Amino acid sequence: MREAYHDQLEELAGRLADMTGMVADAMENATSALLQADLGLAEQVISGDQKVDDVRSSIEEQAYALLALQAPVATDLRTVLAVIHAAESVERMGDLALHVAKAARRRHPAPAVPEDVQPYFAEMGTIATKLARDAAVIIREKDVTRARALEEDDDAMDDIHRHLFSVIMDKEWAHGVAAAVDVTLLGRFYERYGDHAVSVAKRTVFVVTGRMPGYGGDEDL
């Protein structure tokens, strides 16, 4: 019975890792749609968001069933609780990728961001996708060292996000208020995506060590 139970816990963590991979793909595609004004790719991300939501609901249902039927304690309990909280963060990551895709669709056929800031969003998209893919590996392997290192990549995201403010506030900005608002919102979407990826990694540290790490950012991202 205990072996079967632990198999169920591993399956639960594996499904969470799969879901994290889904939102990595979503942000990668949303960034391509944003930079290439690719309406078809934007629509693909938008329609695919429901699948992420459905997976989250299914994961939560499985987790609550384990709580009710198995009454887990110690590490097993931490695993179930961490999965429930992490699934919420991963769903938010999917929502943020959705927002990027909707921005691309809203501005189509024109590019959603001016050409001179596109390299910043390309870099943020690369970082965001890496954060999510690393988080998926961290979940599967329960890699505490890698989880703690994830914050360094998120720091790079924060640096770009802060720099964008100086770009749009510069007197040389020639793209008007609407473009400045778009850049501000989009930068925030990427920054929050990174925060949620770090939050997922922190949940893994909690599972392994029994303590929620206090590195970088709020505890409830």
- Residues 49, 94: contact at Cβ < 8 Å? yes
Confidence at residue 216, expressed as pLDDT on a 0 to 100 scale: 44
How many helical (H) and strand (E) elements, i.e. helices and strands, does the chain have? 6, 0
Q: In the numeric block, which tokens belong to residue 44?
A: 């693909």
Q: In the numeric block, which tokens belong to residue 65?
A: 């069933």
Confidence at residue 217, expressed as pLDDT on a 0 to 100 scale: 42
Answer positive or negative: Cα dihedral of 101, 106, 110, 116: negative
What pLDDT tens digit does each residue of the chain (221 aa) get?
567 778 889 999 999 999 999 999 999 999 999 999 999 999 999 999 999 999 999 999 999 998 888 777 788 888 999 999 999 999 999 999 999 999 999 999 998 999 999 999 999 999 999 999 999 999 999 999 999 899 888 999 999 999 999 999 998 999 999 999 999 999 999 999 999 999 999 999 998 888 877 644 444 33
Confidence at residue 67, expressed as pLDDT on a 0 to 100 scale: 87
Confidence at residue 218, expressed as pLDDT on a 0 to 100 scale: 40
- Residues 26, 192: contact at Cβ < 8 Å? no
As assigned by CATH, the class of the 2-209 domain is mainly alpha
User: Would you give the distance in Å from CA 192 to the centre of its chain?
Assistant: 8
58-80 in b/e burial notation, b at 16+ Cβ within 10 A? ebeebbeebeeebebeeebebbb
> 3-state DSSP call for residue 72?
coil
- Residues 128, 31: contact at Cβ < 8 Å? yes
Using CA atoms, how far apart are residues 37 and 163, in angstroms rounded to an integer? 24
Confidence at residue 221, expressed as pLDDT on a 0 to 100 scale: 32
Using CA atoms, how far apart are residues 49 and 212, in angstroms rounded to an integer? 29
DSSP string, 89-158: HHHHHHHHHHHHHHHHHHHTTS-SS-GGGHHHHHHHHHHHHHHHHHHHHHHHHT-HHHHHHHHHHHHHHH
Confidence at residue 215, expressed as pLDDT on a 0 to 100 scale: 46
Q: The whole model's pTM is what?
A: 0.91
- Counting Cβ atoms within 10 Å, is residue 173 exposed (0-12), middle (13-18) or buried (19+)? middle
- Residues 64, 70: contact at Cβ < 8 Å? no
Using CA atoms, how far apart are residues 38 and 42, in angstroms rounded to an integer? 6
